[in-house]
Structure 1
Amino acid sequence: MNKNGVKVMKWVDKRQLTMLSTLKEDKDELVNTGRKNRKTYEDIKKPTCVLTYNNKKKGVDFIDQMSAYYFTLKRGLKWFRKVGMEYLFGMALVNAWIIYNMKNEKKVSKKEFTEALIQSITGKNICPDRNQVTPTADHILEMSGKRRNCVGCYEKLRETMKSSEVKRKVKKIKTYCRMCKQNLCAKCFKDSH
């Protein structure tokens, strides 16, 4: 430790760790963590700076975990877009969700919170029914269990190719029109309705 209170510590547990600390509470003694070694049943002891770091790092790890479930980064050459998207849709969204759940008795999942936030910003109901994708009048595009050929894409490709070639190249989709009883991708559904 120098005269300004900066301490340099080296600790070896599973791997070597070197730390700089300015906290007055950090001393050069080992503190019991309250856990025991599985093999020797001895108390596990660590320096206070390591315990403080691990305790404070939990929040960062939690935010990284929650933002990783819905990954927003896209490929691109400009690094500042990636950083901005991560701050806005990763860290800021998770922080807002945590604060919302702390202030309200009824807890919501991150997905529900994100959907409600998108709906409030855009003013559009993004999921009136979980299985619906695009509603228009009586024709509704719904999700099915099996992947099948898109009827619209098949007909377009059939004009220029043989049916054996079309079967290999046609788009496989899980959506169908409830009224028409045809499997259609979103583009073909929009074009035909």
Structure 2
Amino acid sequence: MDELALLGPRLRAARIARDLTLEALATRTGISASTLSRLESGKRQAGLEVLLPIVKHLGVSLDALVRTTAPDPRVRRPIIRRDGMVIARLSPEESPTQTAKITYPHRAARPTPKTHTGREWLYVLSGRLRLDLGGQETILEVGEAAEFDTQIPHAMSATGGGPAEVLSIFDEAGARLHTRVSANEPESPD
């Protein structure tokens, strides 16, 4: 498919994603709503003098609008190994929501609870997870999920004799606490 033919639909998708009407974008860019409509429908060619104010107000790059190939969707980030945990980060570093597969080792003693701003969501993939939330212990089995305010003191570890694999989703504050790498912690290349 002709990549320029994709320009209009990409402009329209970017505008709609930002919940803007043609009229609202016209007001912000100084380009008439009819011109914007013709650009989106492919009935008008776009020059840089028209595209630059549009991409500025939509917060997209020219490259994203005229990209000839899809970017590589794979996330390739190093594995983190810390305190017996194995953390595989599953989302790009710049993503506002971070996702990780965390393998918690079995521990006889409970880890020290921590707090931070935000919320966390987790899903147990395998094993049994001990969630200490505000001093109350909950054992989560395979297929169970939990979601909680991370300002409540919380700690997690595997229980039942083996490790527990968990899919965790958290915001930036949670990502810093759970997946940070300090200067003296090497990341594994696998």
TM-score by length of 2: 0.24
Higher helix residue share:
1
Indicate the structure whose relative CO is greater, using CA pairs within 8 Å and at least 6 residues apart.
2
TM-score by length of 1: 0.24
